[in-house]
Structure 1
């Protein structure tokens, strides 16, 4: 019992530190306006696109800029440590939620692209399936020719997020090396806030109601049978970050594979 309470206390303390650091970053990082460039958002799971870049998507779509979202998994492992809810049911519901969340952001069904990697097992560099994943993303990039690609921050901490970022970087290098890569944040403030230095912030207040409506599709609808949202039990600090009108980004370091 004591260890349980200690775990709860440590979680609360981590969330409190995360909130303070997030607040500091929201005030200190420089503000940047969105570009008029077309974009591809790489989302390891349904909800990452909204939690991390929902304001950016809505701002670009309001301005008439083309945006597409590539979902790598159906998010079916969100209740692995929670209950025995059927994974295929979770996948189906989360895909429906993603489709519903895309509407207030200004996206159409044709703007959503679905891969079929296993949640919790997106191939990492050096593992079986990595080159196949890179080839698949390269095909998407060549088909839609986005000017920018947004993928999770390398410090987000989630293994699927790290794998998605590495697949994205490798695919860009192998296909269209001049595409600009930008990292969005979902878990980074919670897991490694010090690594966001050098980033920038986006003020999404003009479209905040659109982002809030998209978030409601994930967090405020009828939950899974266990009573927890279909996206799983998330730390309160992560949810607060998702609901913020300020989004945090960092550009990938420029090299011969990127242009400003």
Structure 2
């Protein structure tokens, strides 16, 4: 989902007239509420009423703030990111006191907009909070993963994963959904509400007002406009707060093979996010591409095939190294973006295909499987790897690169993919680059020669 905070957005009256009138009430029979927020002000906009009511009932509160929100005004001529970070921390502390937080918030200080590269750190901070809670009954609150903001998605995913593993109840609060969405976009079947009394509504109003840097212009200069305008703020003046329960996990029967993720998953990702995995915005992805390109054993290739090209960030670089490039993706939105990016390059073709069923015909001397094979179920993984090897020219190279951390929706891990390929008897590994976050390997057909051997430097 792409949205602009400066746009008017959905009028609050649309939500008031169309939202289900009788959602079940959220259960607050707990000893402690732990909030993990992506940015300062998430907790106030999404859950200040709940926190106020919980504190009034004697329920302990913990608050973890993942980033300092220093990226809120990237074009500000008056406030540097460091200045904004300090300002927003002070605002958060003021807001937390209003809702009843007695201890100090935990500030992780991770990069605003870059949370995906720090999933382990975020998960560790949440686990630490749950460890400190001991045997208490805990409710964890986080931004909703479908909110349309990358950091909200990442923090929401981590909260659900950690809580599911620990058997802890979690709920997510939407923020930007109210701005870009309509009632048809909300998962009402998993929604719960909390009715706010007068003191809770008053506290929420004051807590939101504490985040002045987001509500009012930093100055009269362009780039210092408010992040949350009055029309957006109207969504948080309601007498209720809404929370979404996690999507129920689909239990696998013993011996039942993992299933390939279908098109609905990817269509949903591109509907909610302009750049779902941050291929064009994250230093992590830019660096990983550079590592992959540096690992290619040959300077130039005759024919390149890239599976799962997304919006074409890597494809554009492969086009500089190949005489002919074919790139495919399952999601029409991704294919359209890639075609626009590569328009005018006559030697590059981008088209939609469902892999491995629609593996292209022909022979390639470079096949690239980057961040794609962990989406395949058991049978499709076997067929996809076989198709990749079978389509290699005699002197061809197969490049595989995958994220190593577990993702709840994926049928397998990146390590599983690489282990399955390494177990094949018809390929030889030429390159292996392993980091905590990803593993990159290059294979050739059995007996493939190293770079030095191809250059005649060694026998």
Alignment TM class, shorter chain as reference? 0.7 to 0.9
2:125 and 2:68 map into 1 onto residues whose CA distance is 16
Residue aligning to 2:7: 11
Cα deviation digits, residues 67-108 of structure 1 (max 9, x gap): 111111111111014545211111111111111111221112
1:169 and 1:84 map into 2 onto residues whose CA distance is 38
CA displacement at 1:118 relative to structure 2: 0.6
Residues 46 and 174 in structure 2, CA contact (< 8 A), matched pair in contact too? yes
Residue aligning to 2:65: 71
C-alpha RMSD of matched pairs (Å)? 3.0
Residue aligning to 2:110: 117
Cα deviation digits, residues 41-81 of structure 1 (max 9, x gap): 11111111010000000000011111111111111111014
Which piece of structure 1 moves more, 160-169 or 34-43?
34-43
Q: 2:211 aligns with which of 201, 207, 218?
A: 218
CA displacement at 1:217 relative to structure 2: 0.9
The unaligned stretches of length 5 or more in structure 1 are: 1-6
Residues 196 and 250 in structure 1, CA contact (< 8 A), matched pair in contact too? yes
Residues 147 and 180 in structure 1, CA contact (< 8 A), matched pair in contact too? yes
CA displacement at 1:166 relative to structure 2: 1.3
2:13 and 2:77 map into 1 onto residues whose CA distance is 29
2:224 and 2:155 map into 1 onto residues whose CA distance is 21
Map of 1:1-260 to 2, 5 A cutoff? 11-12=7-8, 14-16=9-11, 19-25=13-19, 28-32=21-25, 34-37=27-30, 38-83=32-77, 85-108=79-102, 110-123=103-116, 128-145=117-134, 147-174=138-165, 177-192=166-181, 193=183, 194-198=185-189, 199-206=191-198, 207-219=200-212, 223-226=217-220, 232-255=226-249
- SS for the counterpart of 1:98 is helix
2:240 and 2:152 map into 1 onto residues whose CA distance is 21
Q: Scaled by the length of structure 2, what TM-score is found?
A: 0.47
1:249 and 1:229 map into 2 onto residues whose CA distance is 33
- SS for the counterpart of 1:233 is coil
Aligned length: 240
2:101 and 2:249 map into 1 onto residues whose CA distance is 32
- SS for the counterpart of 1:137 is helix
2:18 and 2:223 map into 1 onto residues whose CA distance is 29
- SS for the counterpart of 2:178 is helix
CA displacement at 1:200 relative to structure 2: 2.1
Cα deviation digits, residues 144-195 of structure 1 (max 9, x gap): 3461101111221111100111121222244xx2100111121122233422
1:230 and 1:142 map into 2 onto residues whose CA distance is 41
- SS for the counterpart of 1:115 is strand
1:67 and 1:229 map into 2 onto residues whose CA distance is 35
1:102 and 1:228 map into 2 onto residues whose CA distance is 30
> Closer, same or farther in 2 for the Cα pair 1:228/1:52, shift >3 Å?
farther
Residue aligning to 1:3: none
- SS for the counterpart of 1:85 is coil
Q: Which has the higher helix share?
A: 1
The unaligned stretches of length 5 or more in structure 2 are: 252-459
> Closer, same or farther in 2 for the Cα pair 1:66/1:82, shift >3 Å?
same
2:237 and 2:151 map into 1 onto residues whose CA distance is 22
Residues 52 and 184 in structure 1, CA contact (< 8 A), matched pair in contact too? yes
Please say which structure displays the higher CA radius of gyration. 2
